[in-house]
């Protein structure tokens, strides 16, 4: 398969000690940090002030009460006119909370020669750049399950240090799905992954996170070769997550069925997101990272506008 390169033994975490994995992350992150800052700076030129919901003096809107919120948030006068409880939201310029979760499982290490970088590296660049852009826009940003929400100028470096420290621990496992960490009502989650897990597991995770009142945005990272399937003749496919291998004599005969299955898988993931008002963005690693970051920023800004969120999703 001349068009495909898997990360070599020094680049992959599978089968390596936590120390080796930490060394690998530490070696690659400086370059990714620089790339993330460049991408964030290019996107910041298009970011302007905006109205956001929160604690303040100017009335913003009424919204339905979310289970788990303090009862003191209820606007009883407005609620008395309906059979639902409502909360009075006010406009402010203080921070919202946005959580970022980056899939660092083995399948994210895949890269073909058609791509600009591996899925993992692209996910890290987008995630770190998003944290920087969001922080500079006034939000507090945290790594889900790893840090508290931060509003620090060096947020990219701090997140990178956190990931390196996690890799050094013997108990760290790079899972394919976000942890069951508590999310505040109305918080937003940016989930970056290739979403190659079972759609039923993804749907269940979205359901659990949505039950806390959180809004989510899925960034699906794909290598272009995963969509084009250009293989012909005798081909051996290797599963990056396990020792499994598949050898076929005429790979081109599988192309149509493969593409149909890939579309069905993505449709299932998209449906799981849309059912709960979440958005999904597909990003290929042969495209600039800035494209994905700008599109994600629009979705995050539209998080408090269900109609706009529906259009963008």
pLDDT on residue 1: 38
Instruction: Provide the strand spans (E) within the chain.
Output: 4-6, 52-54, 58-64, 86-92, 97-102, 110-112, 140-143, 188-193, 215-222, 235-238, 245-248, 279-284
- Residue 268 exposure: Cα atoms within 13 Å on the Cβ side: 16
Closest among 195, 224, 226 to 105, alpha carbons compared: 195
Beta strands at 140-143 and 86-92: parallel, antiparallel or unpaired:
unpaired
pLDDT on residue 123: 97
pLDDT on residue 14: 37
CA atoms of 284 and 43, how far apart (whole Å): 18
pLDDT on residue 213: 83
Measured CA distances, 13 to 3, 21, 91, 127, 277 (Å): 22, 5, 46, 20, 35
Q: What global pTM score does this model have?
A: 0.76
Q: Could you state, in order of their start, the residue ranges of all structural domains in the chain?
A: 4-50+94-312, 56-92
Q: Enumerate residues 6+ apart whose C-beta is below 8 A from 252.
A: 231, 232, 233
pLDDT on residue 167: 79
Q: Enumerate residues 6+ apart whose C-beta is below 8 A from 14.
A: 106, 240, 241
CA atoms of 190 and 141, how far apart (whole Å): 10
Measured CA distances, 123 to 82, 85, 103, 104, 118 (Å): 45, 39, 8, 9, 9
Beta strands at 86-92 and 52-54: parallel, antiparallel or unpaired:
antiparallel
pLDDT on residue 100: 97
Distance in angstroms between the alpha carbons of the first and the last residue of the chain: 35
Q: Enumerate residues 6+ apart whose C-beta is below 8 A from 259.
A: 227, 229
pLDDT on residue 243: 76
pLDDT on residue 93: 37
Residue 108 contacts residue 197 (beta carbons within 8 Å) = no
Q: Enumerate residues 6+ apart whose C-beta is below 8 A from 166.
A: 146, 172
Query: pLDDT in tens for each of the 313 residues of the chain?
Result: 344 433 333 333 333 444 555 557 777 888 899 999 999 988 886 554 444 444 444 555 677 876 666 777 788 888 888 888 887 765 443 347 899 999 998 889 889 999 999 999 999 999 999 999 999 888 899 999 999 999 888 999 999 999 988 877 767 777 889 998 888 878 899 999 999 999 999 999 999 999 888 899 999 999 999 998 888 888 888 777 677 787 888 888 989 999 999 999 999 999 999 999 999 999 999 999 999 999 999 888 876 444 444 444 4
Measured CA distances, 108 to 15, 188, 237 (Å): 15, 23, 16
């Amino acid at each position: 398969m001349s068009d495909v390169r898997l990360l070599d033994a020094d680049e992959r975490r599978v089968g390596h000690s936590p120390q080796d994995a930490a060394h690998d992350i530490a070696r690659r992150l400086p370059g990714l940090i620089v790339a993330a800052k460049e991408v964030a700076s290019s996107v910041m030129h298009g970011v302007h002030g905006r109205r956001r919901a929160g604690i303040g003096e100017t009335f913003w809107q009424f919204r339905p009460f979310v289970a788990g919120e303090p009862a003191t948030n209820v606007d009883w006068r407005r609620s008395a006119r309906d059979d639902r409880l409502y909360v009075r939201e006010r406009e402010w310029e203080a921070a919202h909370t946005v959580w970022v979760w980056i899939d660092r499982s083995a399948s994210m290490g895949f890269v073909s020669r058609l791509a600009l970088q591996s899925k993992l590296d692209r996910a890290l660049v987008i995630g770190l750049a998003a944290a920087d852009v969001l922080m500079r826009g006034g939000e507090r940003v945290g790594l889900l399950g790893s840090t508290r929400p931060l509003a620090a100028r060096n947020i990219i470096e701090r997140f990178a240090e956190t990931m390196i420290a996690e890799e050094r621990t013997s108990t760290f496992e790079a899972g394919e799905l976000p942890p069951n960490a508590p999310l505040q009502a109305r918080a937003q989650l940016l989930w970056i992954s290739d979403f190659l897990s079972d759609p039923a597991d993804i749907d269940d995770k979205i359901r659990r996170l949505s039950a806390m009142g959180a809004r989510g945005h899925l960034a699906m990272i794909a290598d272009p070769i995963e969509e084009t399937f250009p293989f012909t003749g005798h081909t051996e496919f290797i599963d990056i997550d396990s020792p499994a291998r598949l050898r076929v004599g005429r790979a081109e005969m599988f192309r149509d069925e493969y593409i149909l299955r890939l579309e069905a898988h993505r449709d299932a993931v998209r449906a799981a997101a849309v059912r709960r008002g979440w958005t999904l963005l597909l990003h290929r690693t042969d495209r600039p990272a800035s494209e994905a970051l700008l599109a994600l920023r629009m979705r995050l800004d539209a998080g408090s506008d269900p109609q706009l969120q529906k259009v963008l999703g």
